Amino acid sequence: MYILGLTTLGDSAAALIKDGQLVAAVEEERFSRKKHHAGFPYQAIEFCLKQAGITLAEVEHVGHYWKPWILRHKAMQALKSGLISPAMFKARADRGVVQVSDSYLGMFKHPKRLREHFGPSNFKFHYIEHHQSHAASAFFVSPFESAAILTWDGTGEDTTTLFCRGKDNRIDILKRIKLPHSLGQFYSAVTNFIGFDMFAGDEWKVMGLAAYGKPKHYDFFREMVLTTNGKGDFRFDIKVLDHHLAKHYQFSDAIVKELGPARKPGEELTEHHWNIASSAQKALEDTAIDLVKAIHEMTGEENLCMAGGVAFNSVMNGRIFHETPFKRFYVQPAAGDAGCSLGAAYFVSNQLLKKPRSFVMDQAYWGPGFTNEECREALDDAGLSYDTLNDDDLLPKVAKMISDGAIVGWFNGRMELGPRALGARSFLADPRRSDMREILNHKVKLREWFRPLAPSMLEEHGTEVFGVEHHDPFMITVIQVAEEYKSKVPAVVHVDGSARPQMVNRDTNPRYWKLINEFKKLTGIPMLLNTSFNVQEPIVCSPQNAVNTFKNSNFDALVLENNLVIR
Residue 195 pLDDT greater than 70, yes or no? yes
Q: Which residue type occupies 131?
A: H
User: Binning pLDDT at 50, 70 and 90, where does residue 95 land?
Assistant: low
Q: What pLDDT does residue 74 have? A: 66
Span 330-354, average pLDDT: 98
User: pTM for the full model?
Assistant: 0.95
pLDDT exceeds 70 at position 89 = no
What is the C-alpha to C-alpha distance for residues 226 and 256, in angstroms, rounded to an integer? 16
82-91, 422-431, 474-483, 488-497: segment of lowest average pLDDT:
82-91
Query: For residues 35 and 20, is the Cβ–Cβ distance under 8 A?
Result: no
What topology is assigned to 372-566 in CATH? DHBP synthase (3.90.870)
pLDDT of residue 105: 87
Given a cut of 80, whether residue 81 has pLDDT beyond it is no
Distance CA 285, CA 315 (A): 8
Can you give the pLDDT at residue 99?
55
- Amino acid letter at 12? S
**What number is the average pLDDT over the span 109-125?**
98
Q: Is the pLDDT of residue 101 over 60?
A: no
Three-state SS sequence of 379-427: HHHHCCCCEECCHHHHHHHHHHHHHCCCCEEEECCCCECCCCCCCCEEE
Asked which of 73-87, 247-261, 479-493 is least confident by mean pLDDT, the reply is: 73-87
Q: In which band, very low, low, confident or very high, does the pLDDT at 85 lie, cut at 50, 70 and 90? A: confident
Average the pLDDT over each of 85-94, 308-317, 457-466 and give the range with the smallest value: 85-94
Q: Where in the chain is the domain with CATH 3.90.870.20?
A: 372-566
* Average pLDDT over every residue of 214-231: 96
Higher pLDDT, 378 or 94: 378
Give the span between the Cα atoms of 109 and 535, in whole angstroms: 35
Q: How far apart are CA 246 and CA 192, in angstroms?
A: 6
Contacts of 148 (CB under 8 A, 6+ apart): 163, 164, 165, 166, 295, 296, 298, 299, 301, 303, 304, 305, 326
* Average pLDDT of the residues of the chain: 95
**Total Cβ atoms within 10 A of residue 435:** 10
Task: Tell which residue, 530, 402, 9, 494, has the closest CA to residue 208.
Answer: 494
Give me the pLDDT at residue 71, please: 73
Q: What is the rounded average pLDDT of the residues 104-109?
A: 92
DSSP assignment of 541-557, as one string? -SHHHHHHHHHHS--SE
Q: Which H helix or E strand runs over 44?
A: helix 42-52
Q: Note the pLDDT of residue 86.
A: 77
- 427 has which bridge partners? 409, 531
The boundaries of every CATH 3.30.420.40 domain in the chain are: 2-68+108-141+333-352, 183-330
Average pLDDT over every residue of 95-101: 53
What are the tens digits of pLDDT across the range 144-184?
999 999 999 999 999 999 999 999 999 999 999 999 999 99
Percent of the chain clearing pLDDT 90 (strictly above): 92
Say which CATH class 2-68+108-141+333-352 falls into.
alpha beta
In angstroms, the CA 229 to CA 534 distance is 43
Q: How large a percentage of the chain has pLDDT more than 70?
A: 96
Give the per-residue pLDDT at 100: 54
Whether the CB-CB separation of 308 and 453 falls below 8 Å is answered with: no
pLDDT tens, residue by residue, 278-314: 999 999 999 999 999 999 999 999 999 999 999 999 9
Residue 104: pLDDT band (50, 70, 90) is: confident
Give dist(CA 539, CA 31) in Å, integer.
Answer: 10
CATH number of the 183-330 domain = 3.30.420.40
